[in-house]
Structure 1
Amino acid sequence: MGFVVVPATLPDIRAIYDVWFAAFKGQLILDLIYPGTDLNDEAFRKVHTEGTLEYWKGLSMEHTFQCIDTDTGKIAGMATWQVYWRERTTEERQKPWIGWLEGEQRERAEGFWGQLWEKREKWIGPKRHVYCHTVAVHPDYQGRGIGAQLMQWGMNMAEQLNLPIYLESTVEGVPLYQKLGFQTLSEGILFKPEITRVEKEVRAPLLVKMPTAAGNTTFEEWAEDNNSSVN
Structure 2
Amino acid sequence: MKTPRPYVLQENNWKDVKDQAYTTAVLPWGATEAHNYHLPYGTDNYLAEAAAIAAAAIAWEKGARPVVLPVVPFGVNTGQLDVPLCINMNPSTQLEVLKDIVQVLDLQNIDKLVIVNAHGGNTFKPIIRELSALYPKVFVCALNWWRAEDGNQFFDDPGDHAGELETSAIMHLHPELVLPLDQAGDGEAKTFKIQALSTWVTTQRKWTSVTKDTGVGDPSKSTAEKGAAFFKATTQTIGDFLVELHQADTKDLYQ
**Is the pair's TM-score, using the shorter chain for normalization, greater than 0.5?**
no
Shorter chain as denominator, the TM-score bin is 0.3 to 0.5
User: TM-score by structure 2 length?
Assistant: 0.32
The structure whose residues are more often strand, as a share, is 1
Higher RCO (CA < 8 A, seq sep 6+): 2
